[in-house]
Amino acid sequence: MRYLYIFLILLISSNAAADLCSDEYDKFSKQHIALTENYDGTNQKTRSELLILKQKIEKTIDNCRKSARLHTLAAWVCVSLEQNAEASRFAQKAVEINPDSWESNDVYGNSLVLLGKYDLGLSYLEKATRLAPDKLYLLMNLCSSYEDAKQYQKAITTCTEVISKKTNEFDGPAYYVRGRAYNALKMKDKADSDFVKAKALNFDGDQYYKDEHHGTN
């Protein structure tokens, strides 16, 4: 009975710690979303607040070392700050803690792509889409990342898959990115057709790429 009592005490303590880590994640995640909603990388006040948030998350991680979600969030905050090497380190740890987390694989893939490590980064982005096939924005991000990596045929195939879902949610960026891929392959008629479709959906391609490269998520 004594050992059962000790086990129950440890279990309760473990659950309490997990609840605390989860609560902190929820709080910090909401703060990150609020700070990056209109952040373009130039507002120094917002940047300072993001740096403070990063410090708070790092301090919390000291007591939540097995929280893949907090490591994932720390990585996204680093991406927002354009600290991509540090983002990659946090994300790698998140994947080590939970290899089957689509969130961890997603941020790790994105951080590697931003570092120019396309082959490895794309492999994690591909895994994220397999782990969460219902998350259409992961597929759209993969399409865009293929185009960034100059893997134009894969970009065309993946963007076409996004469009085929017929949700209309990501049709604008899918047409635009596919148009860029067609254009790179000297398929001007198809590129122009896609650019027209993107414009008809009031999609701003320039803003999309500006947001993409400032790490908003």
The lowest-confidence range among 17-26, 46-55, 101-110 is: 17-26
Alpha-helical runs (H) found in 37-134: 44-61, 68-80, 84-97, 102-114, 118-131
Distance CA 61, CA 100 (A): 20
Residue range 158-184: average pLDDT? 95
Beta carbons within 8 Å of 70's beta carbon, 6+ residues apart: 21, 24, 25, 28, 57, 60, 61, 64
pTM: 0.85
Go through 68-96 and write b for each residue having 16 or more CB atoms within 10 A of its CB, e for each that does not: bbbbbbbbbbbbbbebbebbbbbbbbbbe
In this prediction, what percent of the chain has a pLDDT beyond 90?
79
pLDDT band, residue 168 (cuts 50/70/90): confident
In the predicted structure, residue 193 carries a pLDDT above the cut 50? yes
pLDDT band, residue 7 (cuts 50/70/90): very low
With tokens 């740096």, the residue in question is 51
Domains plus CATH for the chain?
1-133 (1.25.40.10), 135-217 (1.25.40)
